[in-house]
Amino acid sequence: MWINILSGIVILILVFKTYAAFANPALAYGAIYGDVLANQKVLWELAGRNIAMIVVTLMALRSQNAMFLAFTMIINIVRESFDLFMGIRFSGGETAQILQAMSFLIFLVPYVFAMKKLRSLAALPE
């Protein structure tokens, strides 16, 4: 199912971002200094939340339960929507930065379609 592939891609992205948060923040987060204690705390908190999303998504994929998978899509929609908001909020009004932030819509669209598909699957008797 294409939703499994989408979820797998999300897991790979989260694994990369978690690795970056622990090992080399510049890979995913730009000019942030991982040797500053306050930054380390934020990065490790972010990594922990990414790990939680990875675990929940893996459990949903293993169960193949439509409602459980839909729950992970809700998490994805909220996360990407907030990333979109942050990109615009911290763009400084620069058009290039705003357009880059709008790239998060590429992720939101498949999540919405996945939610619709999973909702229809959940409505069917098992």
Q: What are phi and psi of 35, to 5 degrees?
A: -95, -5
Instruction: Choose between 83 and 4: higher pLDDT.
Output: 4
pLDDT category of residue 110 using cuts at 50, 70 and 90: very high
State the pLDDT at residue 124.
Answer: 63
Question: Could you tell me if residue 12 is left (phi over 0), alpha (psi between -120 and 50 degrees) or otherwise beta?
Answer: alpha
Task: Tell which wins on pLDDT, 8 or 33.
Answer: 8
Structure pTM? 0.83
pLDDT tens-digit map of 48-103: 999 999 999 999 999 999 999 999 999 999 998 898 888 888 888 888 878 888 88
Cβ pair 81, 70 in contact under 8 A: no
User: For residue 66, what are the contacts with CB-CB under 8 A and spacing of at least 6?
Assistant: 118, 119, 121, 122
CA distance readout (Å), 29 to 80, 86, 87, 92: 15, 13, 12, 17
Instruction: Summarize the confidence of residues 101-119 as an average pLDDT.
Output: 88
pLDDT at 101: 80
